[in-house]
Structure 1
């Protein structure tokens, strides 16, 4: 425990800006993964334990696309759309067969594909650590804010995540397809009786969840090492985020992700040997005070 370092950072504008930005980066990546997870749970009532693998695929697809094209925009697009396709195929071929079944069966199917996807990555890209590198457009001097250092790429990442949050929130609340998705989450039988193909809705939501996780992986590729199994730790933290925010809540996922990001960032200064423990301790406190999480309702 190093409280002096934590207090010193909180009283220094430069350190405060730097650590807050780092916390936001962690939080925004977690949000993009967690919001897909919570969308799938909110509509399909399935805990997608294989969701971290989509994050991993997004990172590898983006790295490959960037190496081939040299365009980071195309890399983001390939990472997001590639995992959306995988998510759609996975849902239609496998997950759709265990809807309404035993929860253990759903978890076993998902966990089996975690191992399968990890081995697929080893076969295609190899078992060694890989690195995409920072795109050339962002290899520029960092911005200085109140004495703190903020790389331009971080601003892009935060902006993309906030844009996704706004689009999802407004899309689910204001558009026809959003209202249909919300109706399917509440009463799929009634939606089906109205002549709407619920299977298409389920597949679309699963693909959207995969797209968001893949986008997170693509955005993380320039600043993270790529390795088979890299999605597992992100998955665990995403579950923490969804539990804190409330399963099925987009706003809860955003707030929970930001809180976890800040806890990790500042906790690494004051409690370097207990940073992981701080996250779980915070989760336990939230669950004791509010078992459903901050916004523990259906999609909002």
Structure 2
């Protein structure tokens, strides 16, 4: 039972961290109708920015969590205004190719600035060590923080999209952009703000992941693959589907690494293939887009 609870907590930890990152990708697709391949590079840039704030500028983790995403968001605004805004009326394949090129540019830019070395950040002092759960299961404090952080992001996003005017405006722009303009919604501003918000979520995810995972130039490639698996399983542009996909992938990683280590790397792709075979638009997708 101790092994089962440890795997369950690991699954929840992984799932909620991936949710923070993947939901930004799905929100951007839902409103802009752009599949952003560069999302993983933005996540990686957030991790490197967090490292620079903590290791080079000497900022505490909590302040770095606020400061590090700011330059990433500003860069995202520039990218959306100067590059992405030119392809909204084109075929989705154009957005795939363009954002893939942006991913390569950002990856090489990161290598030029920070090099190809591996960086490690220690968790803040209050989150170091372990806690005891379920009587005899020891679990890292920082992983507990990630779970709480993921739940706060989940609750905040649900509240924003379902209980605020901002959320209703975003949903209106996603459903019918032309009609939104007719009712005096500045859809151009909404599109830019949504892309910036998606970048902020990715950057926050990068800072949160930094003390758990080594920071290296390949971390963005792995996370974008996992994010796409999540949105394919859950359904493109679907909030609930993103959460469901993240939980499924978290369970695959948490229990697969403990009980099926030989095939753990294959399990996410097997799961995605099965979903595509039987539910081509995802478990929660409607097939509208």
Q: If the TM-score is normalised by the length of the shorter chain, which range does it land in? A: over 0.9
Per-residue deviation, 1:288: 2.6
Q: Contact (CA 8 Å) 2:61, 2:123: kept in 1 or not? A: no
> How many pairs were matched up?
287
Q: Which residue does the alignment assign to 1:219?
A: 208
Q: Which residue does the alignment assign to 1:283?
A: 272
Per-residue deviation, 1:297: 4.2
- Structure 2: any 5+ residue segments left out of the alignment? none
Map 1:242-281 onto structure 2 (within 5 A): 242-281=231-270
How big is the alpha-carbon RMSD for the aligned residues of Structure 1 and Structure 2? 1.7
Q: Distance in 1 between matches of 2:164 and 2:115?
A: 43
SS in 1 for 2:138: strand
- Structure 1: any 5+ residue segments left out of the alignment? 1-12
Per-residue deviation, 1:254: 1.1
Q: Which residue does the alignment assign to 1:65?
A: 53
Per-residue deviation, 1:46: 0.6
The answer on 1:238 being equivalent to 2:227 is: yes
Q: Which residue does the alignment assign to 1:42?
A: 30
Q: Contact (CA 8 Å) 2:122, 2:211: kept in 1 or not? A: yes
SS in 1 for 2:68: helix
Per-residue deviation, 1:93: 1.2
Q: Which residue does the alignment assign to 1:186?
A: 175
Q: Deviations over 1:169-214 (max 9, x none)?
A: 1211111111111111111001112222211100010011001111
Map 1:1-300 onto structure 2 (within 5 A): 13-67=1-55, 68-297=57-286
Q: Which residue does the alignment assign to 1:7?
A: none
Per-residue deviation, 1:104: 2.5
Q: Distance in 2 between matches of 1:183 and 1:297?
A: 17
Q: Distance in 2 between matches of 1:127 and 1:102?
A: 35
SS in 1 for 2:266: helix
Q: Which residue does the alignment assign to 1:10?
A: none
TM-score (norm 1): 0.91
TM-score (norm 2): 0.94
Q: Distance in 2 between matches of 1:66 and 1:262?
A: 32
Per-residue deviation, 1:76: 1.0
Q: Contact (CA 8 Å) 2:130, 2:139: kept in 1 or not? A: no
